[in-house]
Amino acid sequence: EAGVTQSPTHLIKTRGQQATLRCSPISGHTSVYWYQQALGLGLQFLLWYDEGEERNRGNFPPRFSGRQFPNYSSELNVNALELEDSALYLCASSLVGGRFYTEAFFGQGTRLTVV
């Protein structure tokens, strides 16, 4: 069974541009979570999508947005990129919305570099 897959693996953008990151959950999982892992800051919760709707949001500006498609895959968009947006972006999925604790699995992340 395929795990959580994220694309692209690496992404280099210029300050001010937009970045789009993609995540495919494990088959059957309806919830997708996004985390930012910046150097020295641990993992910070970004967004939680379940059944196509945004269920919770972390303390990030509105230029961080996303969506979940009918097939439960998800997209994270970061507009007006800033240098401090450079980080590893991790996606996780779980079988039941919010029941992260027993059934969540992480992807390998997208390394975003803003120059």
Q: Which residues bind other proteins (CB under 8 A)?
A: 31, 33, 35, 40-45, 48, 50, 55-56, 58, 88, 90, 92, 97-98, 100-102, 104, 106-109
What letter represents residue 90's amino acid?
L
| Nearer to other proteins (CB atom), residue 7 or residue 18 | 7
Burial class (CB in 10 A: 0-12, 13-18, 19+), 83: exposed
| Nearer to other proteins (CB atom), residue 14 or residue 102 | 102
| Nearer to other proteins (CB atom), residue 8 or residue 16 | 8
